[in-house]
Structure 1
Amino acid sequence: MSAGPVAVVTGAASGIGAALARACAARGMALALADVEAGPLAEVAESLRGNGSRVLECAIDVADGDAVAAFATAVRAEFGRVGLACLNAGVVGPRLPVWEQRPEDWRWVLSVNLGGVVNGLTAFIPGLMKQGSGHVLVTASTAALNPVHGGGNGPYAASKHAVLGLCETLREDLGAAGHPVGVSVLCPGPVATRIRDAARNRPDAAGEPRSPSPSFENTITTIDADTAAARALAGVDAGRFLVLTNPGSETEAGARFARLERDLVVE
C-alpha cells in the first residue's frame, strides 16, 4: 500500500468504518474521521486519541457534497498528504420488492451509497493525483457481485453495483492519465454491524421502516468488523482491485458469473 501517515475514513462512528480507523491507527497512521452521527464519532475519536493517535473528526452527511468538500479542505489543512482514503459510509433500506420501494427510499440509499462515494472521490482524488501517490478504498458489498437470495432491497443492490462500475471506470481514468493512485473496492458479505438499523439516520420523515431489514440468508460466513477491516487493508497492501472478506463470497460470486457467461452470445 502506498499509504502515507494519514488515513481518511467515512462512516467511522461504527461498524467497518470504526474498525478501519482502529486498524489504521494500529499501523501508526493519523486519522481523519467523518460520520453523520456526531456523538458516536466523538467516542471513537477519543478512544483512538487515548491510545496515542492523532485524530481529526468531522460530523457530516456524505450525501452533502459541500460538506465533504469542506472536510477534505480541513484534512489537507491539518495533515497535508493523505495516504489512504476509505470511502465507507453506507446505509440499507427496508427489505421489500423493487416495486414497493418508495421514491424517498431510492433517493436516500442512492444519495448516501453512491452520491457519498462520488462526493468523496471528487473531494480527495485531485489531491492524491497532485501528490502522485495514495490509495482509495471504497466499500461496496457482495451485493455488487451476486443478488441476495430471496431478493429485496433493490436500491441497495443498485447502489453497490453502481459503486463497482464507478470504481472500475475510475481505475481506467487514472491509468489513462498516468496517475499512480491505487483503487480497491471492498465487497464484504455479512458483517456484525448496525447497518440494518441505518434508518435511525434518515433525514426525512419516511425514516420509520415499514418492515424490518433482516439478515439476508446465504451461504456466506458472517464475520466481525475488525476481521473485515484487517482483510480490507491486506487487500490494499496486495494491490487487489476487488477485496473480498467473507469465506463463501468467492463461491457465490463465481456461480453468478458462470450464469452470466452462459448468456454471453450474440444470436
Structure 2
Amino acid sequence: MSAPITDFAGRVVVITGGAAGIGRALAEAFARAGALVVLSDIEAGALAATAEALREQTGAKVDGIVADVSDEASVEELAAEVFRRYGRTHVLVNNAGVGPPGAKVWESTPNDWRWTFGVNVYGVANGIRSFVPRMIASGEPGHVVNTSSGDGAVAPMPNASVYAASKAAVATLTECLGAQLAEEGHPIAVSLFLPSGKGLLDTGLWTADRNRPTDLAREKPRSTPAMTVAGLVAAAAKDGREIPIQPLDEVADDVLRGIAAGEYCLMLGRDDAAKTLSVRAERFGAGLNPTETGHNLLDL
C-alpha cells in the first residue's frame, strides 16, 4: 500500500453526493483540515447553499460542481473541470448514493434496480474511470474512498435486497481497485467506507426519492409512506423509547483519521463487524445461508 496522506492542507478533495448528510460532514472535516474541497451533487440549489455555508464556516476554498454520477459523460465533465482548475486530485470520495423502498426480491421493480445500481454502482465506477487515470498521470499521492454500507459489505438485510446488492457490488469493486493499484505500484491508496456508529444516520438516503428521475419511477406505487428518521424518533417517543442518532461529524472525523492511518476499512464499530463476518463465515463453511432468518431492516 502507498504511503498514506497524513496532511490534508492544500490537498484537492472531491466528494460526490456532497450537498448534504455524510457528504457535507466529510466536506466540513476536510475543509477544516485545510483541504481545497470540490463538492458535487445533482441538487444544484442545495449544492450551492452548502458550498457557500462551508466557505463561511471554515474559511476554506469550497467549490460546487453539479454532476449526475449515474451519467458517465457528466462525471467525465466533472473530472475534466476539476483537473482544469487544480491540475490534480488527491482524495476522491465516491459518496453519492440512493436507497429504493424495501421489497421482497420477487416484488421489487425493474426501475428500482436501474435507479439504485445507476447511482450506487455505476456512480462509483464512473468516478473511478474518470478520475483514477488522471490521478495516475499526475504522479501525485492519492486516495480513493468508496462509500458502501454494512448492509451489503458485512451482512445484508433481506428487506433491503436491492440496496444491499448494490452496496455489496461497491465493496467488491473497491477491493479489486485497491489490489490492482497496489500491484502496479501506483501511489494511490483505496478505502472502503462503511458509515456506521451507535445510532441512526440522519442522511438524505431516507428521502432519496426526491432525486429519482421520472423515467425511473416505480412501476407500482409503494404501499406505505417512506420512513424518515424524524418519523422513527417520533414513533419511538410515543412508546417511551429513545432512538440514538449518530453524529455525522464523528463519522467524518473517523474517515480522515483512517485515511491518515492508511486503513482500508473505514468504519466506527469495526470490531463488531468483524465478529459478524466471523459468524457468517462459520455458517458459510457449514453450508448454510450466512444470513439467518430475522435479520432485517425497517422498510425505508
Match in the other structure for 2:46: 40
Q: What's the TM-score, normalizing by structure 1?
A: 0.90
> Matched residues in 1 for 2:92 and 2:99: separation?
22
Q: How does 1:116-265 map to 2 (within 5 A)?
A: 116-132=123-139, 133-143=141-151, 144-148=153-157, 151-189=158-196, 190-204=200-214, 207=217, 210=222, 211-214=224-227, 222-246=245-269, 248-263=272-287
> Matched residues in 1 for 2:40 and 2:18: separation?
6
> Matched residues in 1 for 2:70 and 2:31: separation?
26
CA RMSD, aligned part only?
2.3
> Matched residues in 1 for 2:177 and 2:225: separation?
35
Deviation, structure 1 residue 56: 2.0
SS at match of 1:90: coil
Match in the other structure for 1:15: 21
Deviation, structure 1 residue 251: 3.9
> Matched residues in 1 for 2:228 and 2:277: separation?
19
**Equivalent of 1:28, from 28, 34, 45?**
34
> Matched residues in 2 for 1:252 and 1:16: separation?
24
> Matched residues in 2 for 1:46 and 1:253: separation?
42
Q: What's the TM-score, normalizing by structure 2?
A: 0.80
Q: How does 1:68-107 map to 2 (within 5 A)?
A: 68-107=75-114
Quick one: percent identity of the two aligned structures? 39
SS at match of 1:63: coil
SS at match of 2:213: coil
> Matched residues in 1 for 2:18 and 2:279: separation?
33
**Equivalent of 2:70, from 53, 60, 63?**
63
> Matched residues in 2 for 1:46 and 1:246: separation?
33
Match in the other structure for 2:120: 113
Deviations 1:8-27 (A, max 9, x none): 00000111000010000010
Matched residue count: 260
The alpha-carbon distance between structure 1 residues 191 and 253, as it changes in their structure 2 partners (threshold 3 A), is farther
SS at match of 2:190: strand
> Matched residues in 2 for 1:229 and 1:213: separation?
26
SS at match of 1:91: coil
The alpha-carbon distance between structure 1 residues 246 and 146, as it changes in their structure 2 partners (threshold 3 A), is same
Deviation, structure 1 residue 259: 2.5
SS at match of 1:95: coil
Deviation, structure 1 residue 256: 2.5
2:207·2:228 contact (CA, 8 Å) conserved in 1?
Answer: no
The alpha-carbon distance between structure 1 residues 259 and 223, as it changes in their structure 2 partners (threshold 3 A), is farther
Match in the other structure for 2:12: 6
Deviations 1:105-130 (A, max 9, x none): 00000000000000000111012212
> Matched residues in 1 for 2:286 and 2:263: separation?
27
The alpha-carbon distance between structure 1 residues 21 and 196, as it changes in their structure 2 partners (threshold 3 A), is same
SS at match of 1:93: coil
Q: Structure 1, unaligned stretches of length 5 or more?
A: none
1:188·1:246 contact (CA, 8 Å) conserved in 2?
Answer: no
> Matched residues in 2 for 1:27 and 1:250: separation?
30
> Matched residues in 1 for 2:225 and 2:206: separation?
8
> Matched residues in 2 for 1:181 and 1:236: separation?
11
**Amino acid paired to 1:126:** P
Deviation, structure 1 residue 166: 0.3
Larger deviation, residues 194-203 vs 235-244? 235-244
> Matched residues in 2 for 1:261 and 1:165: separation?
20
